[in-house]
Amino acid sequence: MTPERGGFAGLDACVHCGFCLQACPTFLATGDEADSPRGRIELMRALERGELAATDAALAFHLGRCLGCRACEPVCPSGVRYGLGLEAARERLTETRGVPWLARAALWALTTPGVSGAVYAAARLLRATGLPRWLAGWGRIRFAMGMLAATRPTRNAEGGTRNVPKAASSTFRVPTSALLFRGCVMQGLFPHVHDATIRTLAVNGYEVREVTGQVCCGALHAHAGLADEARALARINVTAFGDGDEPIVANSAGCGALLKEYGHLIDGGVMFATRVRDVTELLAANGGPVAGAPLDLHVAYDPPCHLLHAQCVADPPERLFAAIPLLRLLTVPGAADCCGSAGLFTLLEPEMSRAVLDPKLERLRAAAPQVIATGNPGCVMQLGAGLAARGIRAPVRHPVELLDASYRAAGWYE
């Protein structure tokens, strides 16, 4: 990318062929060219050239309705880097128009050190009452309740990292170190997934080490056009994780996608970015993961956009499921389509978000899985809330939670 043009240069390769249109969930929802990748690329090019002002209402409307799911990237024969272009355009819009108060409030509550801890503690208390599960439904508040209810751990997952594997060191004589990226939403509402990550990686020969001083990855800020704030967070993380060569493991697809793009975001971010791995990538390395005990389950895997499209990680999650005997993966049409979560999108654009979610819920109802698996906190919450609103009882779990349950049943843990 040329520094003066930033991510806009990633759009130069577009030749208007339109191959991306049918991959775009917002174009499929509205049929409007301006809600398609090709249409938005033209809007972004016009913004960069100054032919459209950042104050243009239609420009902000159509770019605001983009999920940032990047389903348009892998299908593009020209290699357009849509995500980089979108972040550059959103940065330009945010400089002129500011950030919606709702986005600002959400970022403050969810990612500010010293504030977010209290917010997540209150959310966990509310979750423990069982009220969110009972109130889940459609409408902004009830959908938010459903999202919170979806973060609840299964009972047998609670045990913390004290349940360390008892035989890992005899299987892998030289454990490999990995550094855990904890993030903000994952740490606040999904600490049980971190515990499952540590345990399952330990079974597979990794000694997971904690890193102090790490902060939010900045993905929510970058998607909101607050690139300077994302860069400031990235610099703190690069310093915190240091210059070593241990892999940095992320279990949130959204965090992992941005961590892998620190090389574009900040000077000095390239080495950090090359160390980042999704948890399924580490588990699947060296012929892994180790097989667990059978789980007699029908599972629908819903690959997160930021894992499949942004990180191009497709095979490792399948390898994880294959390590669980008896588990059957159901083929659900459109599983790779976006669920409509997309960071703060579900909060800021609820109508479009639900329009994108709706066909997925219908297909899940038809497939009738016992469990839905997905590796991103926003997707867990969005799918969980939608399923609850539809009265579909299947829980949504992170893939490592299933592997963890399989290892527990196999007697790996003390």
Contact residues for ligand SF4, defined by CB under 6 A: 14-20, 23-26, 37-38, 40-41, 66-72, 76, 78, 80, 82
Cα 164 from chain centre: 27
Comparing CB distances to ligand SF4, the nearer of 67 and 255 is 67
- What's the min distance (Å) between Cβ of 70 and ligand SF4? 5
Three-class DSSP category at 367: helix
Q: What is the largest CA-CA distance in the chain?
A: 65
Three-class DSSP category at 20: coil
- Secondary structure element (H or E) that encloses residue 243, with its range: none
- What's the min distance (Å) between Cβ of 42 and ligand SF4? 10
CA within 13 Å, CB half, 291 = 7
Q: Which residues pair with 179 in a beta bridge?
A: 209, 248
Comparing CB distances to ligand SF4, the nearer of 27 and 413 is 27
Task: Enumerate residues 6+ apart whose C-beta is below 8 A from 214.
Answer: 181, 182, 236, 237, 240, 241
Comparing CB distances to ligand SF4, the nearer of 16 and 162 is 16
Comparing CB distances to ligand SF4, the nearer of 86 and 295 is 86
- What's the min distance (Å) between Cβ of 393 and ligand SF4? 30
For the chain, the first-to-last Cα distance in angstroms comes to: 51
- What's the min distance (Å) between Cβ of 20 and ligand SF4? 3
Residues in the chain: 414
- The answer to whether residues 54 and 95 touch, using CB atoms and an 8 Å cutoff, is yes
Comparing CB distances to ligand SF4, the nearer of 29 and 148 is 29
DSSP state of 165: B
- What's the min distance (Å) between Cβ of 60 and ligand SF4? 14
- The answer to whether residues 70 and 303 touch, using CB atoms and an 8 Å cutoff, is no
Three-class DSSP category at 397: strand
- What's the min distance (Å) between Cβ of 369 and ligand SF4? 25
Pairing, β 248-250 against β 206-209: unpaired
- What's the min distance (Å) between Cβ of 265 and ligand SF4? 18
Comparing CB distances to ligand SF4, the nearer of 36 and 116 is 36
Comparing CB distances to ligand SF4, the nearer of 39 and 205 is 39
